[in-house]
Amino acid sequence: MTSIANVFWSFVGAFAGIAAIHYHPLSSLSSSDYTLVVGSFGASAVLIYGAIDSPLAQPRNLIGGHIISAIIGVFCYQLLAPDLWLAAALAVASAIAAMHLTKTLHPPGGATALIAVIGSPALHETGYFYALIPIARGAFILLAVALIVNNIPKGRRYPKFW
């Protein structure tokens, strides 16, 4: 059973992490692209603030999973742009495979790969820069908050491994 203290610190971390992302804009994304990207980071927040013991929530998984998936998503979009259904399916499936192979499995990475395919034309114009800003930047912001908030209370330590 989850303690009230754990619920409290999960709340504080998620609040601070998502607020920090909004305070430090991820780029000049359109509002619809921004909504998609922040949605992916919201899923990361569940893991890195609410399930801090999970292997899927560790820094290697958070950072690596998002960046690898973003690169794969851009590649699949550029390769198969006219057939978005195929690009989307290949991006998510390939991102999962790559995350498995690199031991960086992070479920929100699937959304990050998908967003690279289904995003707006303006997002597509950013090309591989998408993997840096907004993706890497946002993941590092969430990680910085997790390293602070998750280590404030006694008995709550993050990360378990790098």
State the DSSP string of 45-72: HHHHHH-TTSGGGSHHHHHHHHHHHHHH
Residues of the chain with pLDDT > 90, as a percent, come to 87
pLDDT at 153 (0 to 100):
95
SS3 content of the chain, % helix, strand, coil (to 5): 75, 0, 25
**Are the C-beta atoms of 84 and 124 separated by less than 8 Å?**
no
Confidence of residue 55 (pLDDT cuts 50, 70, 90): very high
| pLDDT at res. 22 | 86
Q: 153: cis peptide before it, omega within 30°?
A: no
Say whether pLDDT at 85 is over 90. yes
Let me know how long the chain is.
Answer: 162
- Cα→Cα distances 141→25, 43, 48, 144, Å: 11, 14, 12, 5
pLDDT average, residue stretch 91-99? 98
In our burial notation (b when 16+ CB lie closer than 10 A, e otherwise), range 67-103 reads bbbbbbbbbbbeebeeeeeebbebbbebbbebbeeee
Question: CA 76, CA 135: separation in Å to the nearest integer?
Answer: 17
pLDDT digits (tens, 9 = 90+) for 96-137: 999 999 999 999 999 999 999 999 999 999 999 999 999 999
Q: How confident is the model at residue 26, as a pLDDT?
A: 63
Task: Assess whether pLDDT exceeds 70 at residue 45.
Answer: yes
Q: How far apart are the C-alpha atoms of 6 and 80, rounded to whole Å?
A: 44
- Kindly report, residue by residue over 17-40, the tens digit of the pLDDT: 999 998 877 667 888 888 899 999
Q: Which two tokens stand for residue 53?
A: 């013991």
